[in-house]
Amino acid sequence: MSGHDQLVHCLCELTRLLWKLLLPLVFLCVLLITVLVLLVLAVRFWLQSNRNARRARDGRPTVAFFHPYCNAGGGGERVLWCAIRALQNRYADINFVVYTGDLGVTGQQILEGARRRFNIVLPRPVHFVFLRHRLLVEPGLFPHFTLLGQSVGSIFLGWEALTEFVPDLYIDSMGYAFTLPLFRYFGGCSVGSYVHYPTISTDMLSVVRERNPRFNNPDYISNNLFLSAFKVVYYCLFALLYGMAGSCSDLIMVNSSWTLDHILSLWRAPNRTSVVYPPCDVSAFLDIPLEDDGDRKCHSIVSIGQFRPEKDHRLQIRAFKKVLDKRRTGAGGGEALKLVLVGGCRNQEDEDRVLMLRGLCQELGVADKVEFKLNVPFEELKREMGEATIGLHTMWNEHFGIGVVECMAAGKVILAHKSGGPKLDIVVPFEGGQTGFLADDEDSYAEEIQRILALPSASRLQLRRNARQSVARFSDQEFEACFLAAMEPLMGTLER
């Protein structure tokens, strides 16, 4: 037998073997898929039985909000409490639940914190389901592949929430999109989401493609062609999974035009997506008098925002240092100047970040002119706002910017980052008048601060008036009206 004939013979034998194995393989695949489907149906039946038993006991449906950090003091938490307050005022025959990972406090302490920080009091109590494994969504647990790690962690945390309490309507109010299919397909719940910030965005992809160093794209990656290419592929695959998870939502609310553009491109559900601007406590700051500040001996620059890396407090401190240097060389006025950083610390990582910022102040020689105000009560926040001349914001691609709106409502001259929500929705002309200033790096921030301080006090006063009048569209009342209108189709599906 020739070599060619032997090769043909071997190929024929291999084909016969594969054909004999094909049927068992197909049978095994069908069996595994059947077992998986039956397991999913069994779990779904068990979870829905729990919900039906609870419904029979309570006699009314339940709406649950997934917000593992509900005791934090950020804008997302203000949205949560305003949303619950609006729904409680409209629907008296519905129970409300909040899934939280804040184990060190009681439910009453959480509600008291909402009153103290945001001046929000709920009409009725809510039930808290305390989750024991919030660590699974902490970024510190995943030094590499953080987005993927946190997303997988959120699935396990969502499973804990679902097995602890099965609601009729589930709302993800903190951006954990991978919990949506869990509650929809396993829990049989209607699901909705309020998106503050997309987990991944085309801007993040462009940062990696262009090898631009940022807080989420360290130098060792941006300087390496292979690592940058690998990260682009990783981001693209993650964006695909993120879009599939988010598209499971029956209702999608986003907080700004910038977020809307990204969610539409990723989740591809335009008929279910609407913009609902977050509630800003505009009215609480309207009693701060708008007075001429020309005779002030000290101008205060106030920054409001949690001490998270993306808020870029380092940029604020470095820009402030440049302003002080220019004023020392005679390029500014004779008034004293100070920087006040007001914000919340969610955990030890945030507290460590504050220590590093204090160290930076010492290094730059501005420690005596920079004040840190951590987790302050609402009245102290308001007092700092009232005493300030400039409101400062430096986060790149801030999804919205509640702190920016609050500064404008308080009558401060706002200087915000030239991107995201501040650029597209907030610091925009109002009735033909300017409402604030935008910058994007240390030099431009320093220049704009100098420019603001050099303005005649009458010009600053007119600009402050424009800013205050322009933010009425971000009031609590506007949010409640838009939020209730968006939620009405889902709320109408609840059997009462």
For residues 310 and 374, membership in a common domain is answered with yes
Mean pLDDT of the chain: 88
Other Cβ atoms within 10 Å of 196 Cβ, number = 20
For residues 338 and 363, membership in a common domain is answered with yes
Beta strands across the sheet bearing 336-343: 370-374, 336-343, 298-304, 390-392, 413-417, 437-439
> Is the distance from CB of 318 to CB of 442 less than 8 angstroms?
yes
Lowest model confidence (mean pLDDT) among 24-28, 164-168, 462-466: 24-28
Query: For position 446, what pLDDT does the model report?
Result: 95
Q: Give the total number of structural domains in the chain.
A: 2
Identify the CATH number of the domain in which residue 394 sits: 3.40.50.2000
How many angstroms separate the CA atoms of 475 and 406, rounded?
Answer: 10
Which domain covers residue 80, as residue numbers? 47-279+478-495
E strand residue ranges, 83-123: 95-100
Structure-token pair, residue 422: 């501040």
Query: Residue 172 has what DSSP assignment?
Result: E
pLDDT tens, residue by residue, 282-295: 888 888 888 888 77
For residues 461 and 317, membership in a common domain is answered with yes
Map tokens 């609407």 to a residue: 274
**Is residue 69 pLDDT above 60, yes or no?**
yes
- Domain assignment present for residue 453? The answer is yes
Other Cβ atoms within 10 Å of 325 Cβ, number = 15
**Is residue 308 pLDDT above 90, yes or no?**
no
Share of the chain above pLDDT 90, in %: 58
How many angstroms separate the CA atoms of 495 and 372, rounded?
Answer: 50
> Is the distance from CB of 284 to CB of 82 less than 8 angstroms?
no
For residues 488 and 463, membership in a common domain is answered with no
Range 363-378 average pLDDT: 91
For residues 246 and 314, membership in a common domain is answered with no
How many angstroms separate the CA atoms of 55 and 166, rounded?
Answer: 10
- Domain assignment present for residue 4? The answer is no
Q: What is the C-alpha R_g of the chain?
A: 27
**Is residue 377 pLDDT above 90, yes or no?**
no
- Domain assignment present for residue 7? The answer is no
Beta strands across the sheet bearing 62-66: 127-130, 95-100, 62-66, 169-172, 190-195, 251-254, 273-275
For residues 190 and 309, membership in a common domain is answered with no
- 3-state class of 92 per DSSP? coil
Query: For position 212, what pLDDT does the model report?
Result: 60
Which range scores top for mean pLDDT: 5-14, 297-306, 445-454? Answer: 445-454
Range 31-40 average pLDDT: 86
Query: For position 495, what pLDDT does the model report?
Result: 66
For residues 252 and 339, membership in a common domain is answered with no
Query: For position 127, what pLDDT does the model report?
Result: 96
For residues 271 and 306, membership in a common domain is answered with no
pTM value?
0.79
Query: For position 52, what pLDDT does the model report?
Result: 86
pLDDT tens, residue by residue, 199-223: 988 777 777 666 665 555 565 565 6
- Domain assignment present for residue 21? The answer is no
For residues 260 and 346, membership in a common domain is answered with no
For residues 287 and 273, membership in a common domain is answered with no
Positive or negative CA dihedral for 196, 200, 202, 205?
Answer: positive
Nearest to 217 by CA among 356, 310, 355, 316: 310
- Domain assignment present for residue 15? The answer is no
- Domain assignment present for residue 24? The answer is no
Lowest model confidence (mean pLDDT) among 75-84, 100-109, 207-216, 376-385: 207-216
Helices 107-118 and 378-387: crossing angle, nearest 10°? Answer: 20
Other Cβ atoms within 10 Å of 401 Cβ, number = 31
- Domain assignment present for residue 29? The answer is no
For residues 245 and 331, membership in a common domain is answered with no
For residues 271 and 332, membership in a common domain is answered with no
- Domain assignment present for residue 136? The answer is yes
Range 376-391 average pLDDT: 89
